[in-house]
Structure 1
Amino acid sequence: MKKLLLLFLLSSSTAYAQRNFTIDETVFGPSKFAPKTIYGIQWAKNMDVFTHLDQSYQQLIARSAKENWSEKVIANADDLKAALNKVITTEKFTLRGFPSSYKWVDTDHIKFQLPTEKTLFDITYNTKTKSAMVTKSIPNGLTNAELNTHTAYLVGSNIEILTAEGQKIQVTKDTMDGIVNGSDYTHRQEFGIHKGMWWSPNGKQLLYYRKDETMVTKYPLPQWDARVATVNYIRYPMAGMKSEEVTLVVFNTETQSYTTLKTGEPKEQYLTSVTWDPNNEFVYVGVLNRGQDHLKLNQYNAKTGDFVKTLFEEKSSTWVEPQHELIFLPNAKNQFLYQTDKDGFNQLYLYNTDGKLIKHLGYQEVIVEDFKGFNGAGTKAYYVGATNKGLERHLYEVEIKSGKTTQLTKTNGVHNATVSPTGKYVLDQYSNLTTPNKIQVLETKNSQSKSIFEAENPFAGQINLPKIEFKEFLSPDGKTPLNARITYPANFDPTQKYPVMVYLYGGSHAQLVTDRWLGGVGYFDLYMAQNGYLVFTLDNRGSDARGRDFTRVTHRNLGEAEMADQLVGFDYLKSLPYVDKENMGIFGWSYGGYMTTSLMTKHNATFKAAVAGGPVIDWKYYEVMYGERYMDTPQENPEGYKKTSLLDKVDRLKGNLLVIHGAQDPVVVQQHSMDFIEQCIKKGIQVDYFLYPSHEHNVRGKDRVHMYDKIAKYFDLHLKK
């Protein structure tokens, strides 16, 4: 095992007048103590100039490379309000400051949206002449609005269009329960799905999902808000059961005709990575089989719906997981970037529309996380990628023709950066364990930097913060490094012994340990450390930002490799002289709740107390899209489902377990925990249970304070002497 990577004492634990967090601040602290920053920061068009709001949010500031990035006021809220009063005369509006959501249209004009009680206005403002113009107005509050020449939105499960001329077109008129149009909640938002409607580039055709879930089992969620309880039914396809059937339809606003893409059989498949061709003629769709191990990227004729060709296929012995739409090159409409981890790490691949792979644009083991666009000439692309074993995020530049890649940010930490229109400068915002927030400009040729803004420690002189430390361990496979974090008790004394709280998640698409401000630690973790606990977190195999093989090891046996990795960390904790190994607790939510309950049953000698929130108990109760990716179906993998189920393992439970669940949970339905409790009763095993009647998968708002208070008191009751 490797030792300490980084150690930082955030503030003196003995400083005068400093205090611990209140229980309310475990929830509201992140906004109360957020490091200061600059809002509305972005590059202007076609110039090495960036703009942002001042600290009062009243002025728009420009900074130019020619003037060594000094400040210059180019617009203010008073002038903007005066201009708006001339063009918005029928409704009252509120403008408390210059809008931070503005976007540059050209060198003089910005655009932004201004909501009123009834209307959402699209505004273009000339910063030179101080004049405004309303370019579009639509009713405020439209659901899932997609704006182009016309505006598409949802009314219930149907689509309407408000044309540029103000006319309404009712696109779909389905009244049958279970037919849903245009929803982003298609395939339960797996596969990177974040929208359910796409305008063609010319704004004349609307492509949308049509989801038929009439055959999917209705699942009851009891409602407690009436004298006689009622039932809300949701469509919930459990693993191995009937799933939804989805098609893609093109609506032509000029002819008001419909074309369904002929995506073929079987009907239980997933339609992903949906992308319009830049010429409005074709639609590209990633067609993924229900088994999620075979993807075809297909091209369809938007006018006829006919299948044109399969550009390429991707197969895996575990799973294929498309997450992104295609990105067409700005200066080559027959070429696009495709993202996949098929060679080990999610990276960029350049294809043409014939399906020919032109070049792999990946770099080392860097994982592409956020594509940032192209330079003005379209010859280079930029992205933020995960590196340093997933701990850091940096900005990379790749030359499309040669594939040459350059890392543009160097300071350790998590960066969010963009490149100027000329490509000469990088506008970089980052944090790390020792840096709350820093904004700087870098020169791409020599990496010279100019500091623009640096936030002070928001806790200094106020909050008694503990010491935070990164650790690295080696997985039981003998070759895979694992990142971990220790938050030490306040006023830590290595000659004393302290109880432990382990906080974990462990599932896919999540990462808890990163080199960002506070190391990614949560405020409840800090609260517990301030109250005398050593808090430990480890990202096991299966979690995010480490590549294909790090994730795929969990296939068909969720929880097994994850627990083996966590045990490495627990063994380390028990070896420390200042750890009270007789008083260790563990807490996790969702997948973390599954991990917590698994460890309390399958490895029951470590923890004296545990809290499992919204836990998966048996994967046969979980939904198709997520569950079958990792476990296949119960029919295909009966051994795996039996091994990972906790229903027949309650008699192994030792220690004190509190299970918490939201009664309205549509993700991990309450049946998981209720069946577990029922088995505990039958086996004579005592367990604690608490229900939040009105909450879904996560307990939010003020009630979350109540939840954290309950968890803290539960650990205090069982772990403090």
Structure 2
Amino acid sequence: MKKLLVLLLLGSSVAYGQRNFTIEETVYGPAKFAPKSIPSAKWIKGSDAFTNLDSTYQNLLIRDVKNNWQPKPFITLQEIQTAIGTAIPNSKITLKRFPTNYQWIDENSIKFTTAADKKTYTIAYNIKDKKAKVIHSLADAQSTEAATTSTSKTAYLNGNNIEIIAADGTKTVVTKDTINGVVNGTGTVHRNEFGIDKGMWWSPDEKQLLYYRKDESMVSKYPLPQWDTRVATIKDIRYPMAGMKSEEVTLRIFNTETGEQVTLQTGEPKEQYLTIVTWDPSSASVYVGVLNRGQDHLKLNKYDSKTGALVSTLFEETSSSWVEPQHQLAFIPNKDDQFLYQTDKDGFNSLYLYNTQGKLLRSFAKDSIVVTDFKGFDEKGNKAYYVGATNSGLERQLFEVDLKSGKTTQLTQTNGVHNAEISGSGLYILDQYSNSTTPNKLQVITKKGGKTNALFTAGNPFTGQINLPKIEFKRFTSADGKTPLNARITYPPSFDPAKKYPVMVYLYGGSHAQMVTDRWLGGVGYFDLYMAQQGYIVFTLDNRGSDARGRDFTRVTHRNLGEAEMEDQLVGINYLKAQPYVDAANMGIFGWSYGGFMTTSFMTKHNDIFKAAVAGGPVMDWKYYEAMYGERYMDTPEENPEGYAKTSLLNKADRLNGNLLIIHGAQDPVVVQQHSMDFVQKAIEAGKQVDYFLYPTHEHNVIGKDRIHMYEKIAKYFDNYLKK
């Protein structure tokens, strides 16, 4: 049985020469004190060998089982540089270190990107002949983020339109839209929900380019004031609020041989979501998850790539709350008529094997494991691999699935969070993991027999330098008495249970986020560590609604965001208040985005707990939030008026008690500033005092050097009100 309580002691508070973090290290500390590792370790395609960079980042090393995984010289930076000089005469490309972004194309070739001459180059290097060639070079004005490359040509964005450049430099213009609000090939379709992170896909035969065309010209413009000129100007963004007119998206295919284009006939209504877009291995068909705007009815449709016509609906998935497709189909190697589909329809996100006629062949759902990262197949296509959340979400372990028998085997065993990759043959596992006592460990596991070869174990990067707190994992039971909840307490160094300490509760609480895991530092942020060093008890709990715990754990929030979440948070808060070392009269709470919504909810709905609070980028009323996310959880304001009224904080500003600091980025395109401004106005009308700070140039998150300024402000705010 897994331990429910883990105690992590990080350093002695009396060790000579140790110190606390500086406020600058709350931002730069994660890089400065990152546990050491073997950099850029990657399996070679089609091989049971892998490569990694040496500690100087000047050489690529190779490791294989024949040499007991010991490193041998393989490629030098100088060889790469010489090859580039030959391939691109008079080039200004100067590599100061071996490209960490290298990828294996096949067992003889790598590719990588680098920048020079106001261009971004993608370069391939052949190991056998030691020659380099430019796959493509794109000017700064051309979007390399959206670029998608076949072996002979590259599609990229130039403004809102798609162009293709061939290896010989020939350019083809794919789209020529000039309408404000029409964008082609972008991965920002549907505001990046539903796992969407790209907007263009080459067909397997590399002759057809599939792409999104987003028309948001009918979506309301939202003004963001710009103060960089003497007279301020307005930058408009398209922002579809819940219940309002949303974007209309289509999928198109461009044939590079004929120049013809077709539009997939995804039908009406136009306001729907086109998700999990996947090419058939034959290039003859495209599969699309067509999700209604209400997000409770999904159809997996198959379309003819030549005509765009609907071929068939393979299956449908419905829910009383929401259906949330997140992952492309994964076709089985050597079986073009079978694929894996991911869904949580049976309770936990799992793999399901279907054929291309829509018949379910096998479910690979396993106990309460949540598939978090699909890792692919072995070369023969007999096995599939994934990383799954286990131990009530605390851990990530690697699993193997036998596609024929359905047998599932856990391949990693040590508790913690594993990031593991399988060699092409499926015989070896390159496993990197950390847990509460292990900063970082890299090992190769021989699957048959489970033999492990430890390649690298990182030491504690704080030893002898930083006066670290202790971190304790806790487990509570949800407010409904049914579900375990994971929590974490960070204690001040030299913690004395006979003393009383002020508290900072740090929370998020929303979906697709998990704050507590069994990894190095337990998921604690450096600002949390800093505040503990300043004498605070820092507490974090993952309530129902957060990630990696399954369908029912999440769906309890439907149409009433914040309610079950606060009930669960109160379980942990009441525990804290009962501890003799907690100064219950001096407790604070801090959260950002959804956490800002939760923070303000506590200061109005449970307003007798916290003396001080900081709400960053807070949602104050869900009717102001965008349709894709908001309507999934709340439906529309017209469909759920009671829920919107209950969760709105604008009509509860008169209940505000205690000291509340609201921080917002003036350029926030996610939680627009209207949320906090309207709350401040309601507070004024109610005679309530609110502290407010604006970061004029930042969007949803305050980043860079200004983040140091923000953390200093938050720390001082809590000190002013919570320290006697």
Q: Secondary structure at the match of 1:160?
A: strand
TM-score (norm 1): 0.98
Q: Secondary structure at the match of 1:650?
A: helix
Q: Secondary structure at the match of 2:512?
A: coil
What is residue 374 of structure 1 aligned with on the other side? 377
What is residue 104 of structure 2 aligned with on the other side? 104
Query: Is the Cα contact below 8 Å between 2:221 and 2:237 reproduced in 1?
Result: yes
Q: Secondary structure at the match of 1:649?
A: helix
Written as runs of structure 1 = structure 2, the 5 A alignment for 1:559-708 is 559-708=562-711
Aligned-pair identity (%): 69
What is residue 463 of structure 1 aligned with on the other side? 466
Q: Secondary structure at the match of 2:678?
A: helix
Give the aligned residue type for 1:433. Answer: S
Written as runs of structure 1 = structure 2, the 5 A alignment for 1:80-119 is 80-119=80-119
Query: Is the Cα contact below 8 Å between 1:292 and 1:629 reproduced in 2?
Result: yes
* 1:220-254 deviation line (CA, Å, top 9, x unaligned): 11111111111111111111111111111111111
What is residue 352 of structure 1 aligned with on the other side? 355
Which of 398, 401, 404 is equivalent to 1:398?
401
Which of 138, 159, 164 is equivalent to 2:162?
159
Alpha-carbon distance in 2 for matches of 1:521, 1:459: 14
Alpha-carbon distance in 1 for matches of 2:231, 2:44: 59
* 1:41-69 deviation line (CA, Å, top 9, x unaligned): 11224333222111111222222212222
Q: Secondary structure at the match of 1:36?
A: coil
What is residue 15 of structure 2 aligned with on the other side? 15
Query: Is the Cα contact below 8 Å between 1:218 and 1:236 reproduced in 2?
Result: yes
The alpha-carbon deviation at position 716 of structure 1 amounts to 0.1
* 1:286-322 deviation line (CA, Å, top 9, x unaligned): 0000000000000111111111110000000000000
The alpha-carbon deviation at position 206 of structure 1 amounts to 1.1
Which of 266, 272, 275 is equivalent to 2:275?
272
Alpha-carbon distance in 2 for matches of 1:423, 1:340: 25
Query: Is the Cα contact below 8 Å between 2:87 and 2:134 reproduced in 1?
Result: no
Query: Is the Cα contact below 8 Å between 2:136 and 2:154 reproduced in 1?
Result: no
The alpha-carbon deviation at position 695 of structure 1 amounts to 0.8
* 1:125-182 deviation line (CA, Å, top 9, x unaligned): 34455x2131523224430111113211112211111123312222111111111111
* 1:611-650 deviation line (CA, Å, top 9, x unaligned): 0000000101111000000000000000000000011111
Alpha-carbon distance in 2 for matches of 1:346, 1:717: 45
How many aligned positions are there?
719
What is residue 557 of structure 1 aligned with on the other side? 560
Alpha-carbon distance in 1 for matches of 2:290, 2:153: 29
Alpha-carbon distance in 2 for matches of 1:146, 1:457: 40
Give the aligned residue type for 1:289. Answer: N
Written as runs of structure 1 = structure 2, the 5 A alignment for 1:457-606 is 457-606=460-609
- In the TM superposition, structure 1's runs of 4+ consecutive aligned residues that sit over 6 Å from their partners are none
In structure 2, do the counterparts of structure 1 residues 557 and 6 end up closer, same or farther at CA, with 3 Å as the change threshold? same
Q: Secondary structure at the match of 1:248?
A: strand
In structure 2, do the counterparts of structure 1 residues 3 and 161 end up closer, same or farther at CA, with 3 Å as the change threshold? closer
Q: Secondary structure at the match of 1:5?
A: coil
In structure 2, do the counterparts of structure 1 residues 226 and 658 end up closer, same or farther at CA, with 3 Å as the change threshold? same
The alpha-carbon deviation at position 3 of structure 1 amounts to 9.5
What is residue 292 of structure 1 aligned with on the other side? 295
Query: Is the Cα contact below 8 Å between 2:214 and 2:248 reproduced in 1?
Result: yes
* 1:482-510 deviation line (CA, Å, top 9, x unaligned): 00000001211111000000000000000
The alpha-carbon deviation at position 444 of structure 1 amounts to 1.1
What is residue 339 of structure 2 aligned with on the other side? 336
Give the aligned residue type for 1:7. Answer: L
Alpha-carbon distance in 1 for matches of 2:119, 2:238: 34
Q: Secondary structure at the match of 2:5?
A: strand
The alpha-carbon deviation at position 385 of structure 1 amounts to 0.9
Give the aligned residue type for 1:410. Answer: Q
What is residue 131 of structure 2 aligned with on the other side? 132
Alpha-carbon distance in 2 for matches of 1:279, 1:109: 25
Written as runs of structure 1 = structure 2, the 5 A alignment for 1:219-258 is 219-258=222-261
* 1:444-484 deviation line (CA, Å, top 9, x unaligned): 12222111011111111001000000000000111100000
What is residue 147 of structure 1 aligned with on the other side? 149
Alpha-carbon distance in 2 for matches of 1:140, 1:233: 26
* 1:45-94 deviation line (CA, Å, top 9, x unaligned): 43332221111112222222122222211222223323332222131211
Query: Is the Cα contact below 8 Å between 1:382 and 1:398 reproduced in 2?
Result: yes
The alpha-carbon deviation at position 718 of structure 1 amounts to 0.2
What is residue 75 of structure 1 aligned with on the other side? 75
Alpha-carbon distance in 2 for matches of 1:569, 1:306: 54
Of 102-111 and 300-309, the range deviating more from structure 2 = 102-111
Q: Secondary structure at the match of 1:279?
A: coil
Q: Which runs of 5+ in 1 are unaligned?
A: none
Give the aligned residue type for 1:112. Answer: F
The alpha-carbon deviation at position 119 of structure 1 amounts to 4.5
* 1:425-461 deviation line (CA, Å, top 9, x unaligned): 2110000111111001112122221110111111110
Query: Is the Cα contact below 8 Å between 1:119 and 1:137 reproduced in 2?
Result: no
The alpha-carbon deviation at position 386 of structure 1 amounts to 0.8
The alpha-carbon deviation at position 109 of structure 1 amounts to 3.5
Alpha-carbon distance in 2 for matches of 1:532, 1:570: 18
Query: Is the Cα contact below 8 Å between 1:9 and 1:467 reproduced in 2?
Result: yes
What is residue 430 of structure 1 aligned with on the other side? 433
Give the aligned residue type for 2:623. Answer: K
Query: Is the Cα contact below 8 Å between 2:663 and 2:693 reproduced in 1?
Result: yes
Q: Secondary structure at the match of 2:6?
A: strand
Written as runs of structure 1 = structure 2, the 5 A alignment for 1:48-63 is 48-63=48-63
Does residue 196 (structure 1) correspond to residue 195 (structure 2)? The answer is no
Of 55-64 and 670-679, the range deviating more from structure 2 = 55-64
In structure 2, do the counterparts of structure 1 residues 180 and 126 end up closer, same or farther at CA, with 3 Å as the change threshold? closer
The alpha-carbon deviation at position 123 of structure 1 amounts to 3.6
Q: Secondary structure at the match of 1:554?
A: coil
Alpha-carbon distance in 2 for matches of 1:269, 1:519: 39
What is residue 43 of structure 1 aligned with on the other side? 43
Alpha-carbon distance in 1 for matches of 2:197, 2:40: 24
Does residue 314 (structure 1) correspond to residue 317 (structure 2)? The answer is yes
> RMSD in angstroms over aligned alpha carbons?
1.4
Alpha-carbon distance in 1 for matches of 2:106, 2:673: 53
Query: Is the Cα contact below 8 Å between 2:333 and 2:379 reproduced in 1?
Result: no
Q: Secondary structure at the match of 2:27?
A: helix
In structure 2, do the counterparts of structure 1 residues 415 and 584 end up closer, same or farther at CA, with 3 Å as the change threshold? same
* 1:554-581 deviation line (CA, Å, top 9, x unaligned): 0000000000000000000001000000
In structure 2, do the counterparts of structure 1 residues 562 and 297 end up closer, same or farther at CA, with 3 Å as the change threshold? same
Of 77-86 and 432-441, the range deviating more from structure 2 = 77-86
Query: Is the Cα contact below 8 Å between 2:85 and 2:91 reproduced in 1?
Result: no
Which of 450, 454, 457 is equivalent to 1:451?
454
Alpha-carbon distance in 2 for matches of 1:416, 1:169: 40
Of 24-33 and 153-162, the range deviating more from structure 2 = 153-162
Alpha-carbon distance in 1 for matches of 2:260, 2:693: 53
* 1:349-381 deviation line (CA, Å, top 9, x unaligned): 111110000111222211111111111111101
Alpha-carbon distance in 2 for matches of 1:100, 1:249: 34
Alpha-carbon distance in 1 for matches of 2:550, 2:499: 40
Query: Is the Cα contact below 8 Å between 2:621 and 2:649 reproduced in 1?
Result: yes
TM-score (norm 2): 0.97
Alpha-carbon distance in 2 for matches of 1:659, 1:107: 54
